[in-house]
Amino acid sequence: MSRCVASWPLGVLIVGVMSLVAAAEGAAMLGESVLPAVDSVEPVEQPVGLFVTVALLICAAIARPVLTRRRRRSPPADVMPSVPAALGTEPKFSVIIPTFNRATLVLHAVESVLAQTYGNFELIVVDDGSTDDTVERLRRIVDRRLSIVTISHGGVSTARNAGIAVASGALISFLDSDDLWLPHKLASEVDFLVRHPEVGVVFGDLEKYDGVQHVGSFMRTTDVFGKRLHSARTDGFVLHPREMYLCLLQEVPVKTPATTVRRDVLEAVGGFNELWTSSEDWELLLRLARVTAFGYIDRPLAVIRISPDSLHHLDQERGDRAMLHLLAERRRQAADAETRKAAARGIVRRSKHLGWYYIDSGRRIEGATTYMRSLLITGEPSLLLRAGAALVMPRHASRESKASVQSLAV
């Protein structure tokens, strides 16, 4: 009897969720008669609105206590960081640029590397099976530090790993073919790493261009990492592995073009996972944050440019779905409450990002489903309200909401 009484809230939750799903399916079946009205900000059909309202009232009242019950866990167990190999006074960088059909843009990226004030580096451009004249243009550049590796098209992770395989430097840096380095990038990183031998990964601030929009300090637009920064520039600081790991579960402030990794540390975690063709840098960063300290340089080191063919635009759905799946796994495997909470906050933020993408694309049921799945994992009741709103929200409103979280993009 007591078991039945204890389980009734979960049963009510299931009924409420089923009501919401039924409402979503009803909206889908109504098809053209309903969705155009939604986009033109006319009221939704009464049966759908009634089901959604009932589901919201029932589920919102019970979601948090049912889904956030505390479970016994073992104490937090941090992974001990590895000790990076010692660097000389003038260590060599291996700079890797993967490129695919960007004959003009990649030349600008190459020029920004060759213009570095620090000269001890090799530049490896990996052509990922381009069908334009990228390779021909690159071969016209006369500089002994530049080498070109050609492979069949396999994606950005495969291309970067191909570059790592032939690299000879103690430090590995990455630059995307549509981005640029500022002249002091490598010099700033060498100076930091020499002063902080315990750091395995160093990254800096960057400028961002997205169409006509320019952001002078990307880091100061981030919600979590930005709280550590003041309006005035600092000399930078070291982040211990656990601190960086908790931050990365919630957002991705570390951008590949403004990052350098010690080669031995990168090899210890296995390089890029080639099954990831989007958000692959974030997946690698999470593994690195389990074994090494990160260093931050509080000045722009690179310029990222969001172009129409950027993976940010072309592969957002797959990247967000992969991140949500991994965050759910990290939360499930977490041994302490702090890590679980950080992963849950990351799931909520990322599901909002993906949900807005679906709604803005007219895929409202998929947006509602995204919110409900994240609700069942995190117990965050606001996601239930978003799931209901996804079915009736005007498209222009979703675009305004989506614009407020552009800093989440990887």
Confidence (pLDDT) at 233? 87
Confidence (pLDDT) at 14? 46
93-309: CATH topology: Spore Coat Polysaccharide Biosynthesis Protein SpsA; Chain A (3.90.550)
Confidence (pLDDT) at 303? 97
Confidence (pLDDT) at 9? 42
- pLDDT score of 367 more than 60: yes
- pLDDT score of 42 more than 50: no
Summarize pLDDT for 261-280 with one digit per residue, the tens.
Answer: 999 999 999 999 999 988 89
Average pLDDT, the chain: 82
Confidence (pLDDT) at 391? 85
- pLDDT score of 127 more than 90: yes
- pLDDT score of 325 more than 80: yes
* pTM listed for this prediction: 0.79
Confidence (pLDDT) at 64? 46
- pLDDT score of 7 more than 50: no
| Percent of the chain whose pLDDT exceeds 90 | 64
> pLDDT category, 40, cuts 50, 70, 90?
very low
- pLDDT score of 398 more than 60: no
Summarize pLDDT for 75-106 with one digit per residue, the tens.
Answer: 344 455 667 888 888 999 999 999 999 999 99
Confidence (pLDDT) at 34? 31
In whole angstroms, give the CA distance from residue 13 to residue 163: 51
Q: Where do the domains of the chain lie?
A: 2-69+315-408, 93-309
Confidence (pLDDT) at 79? 53
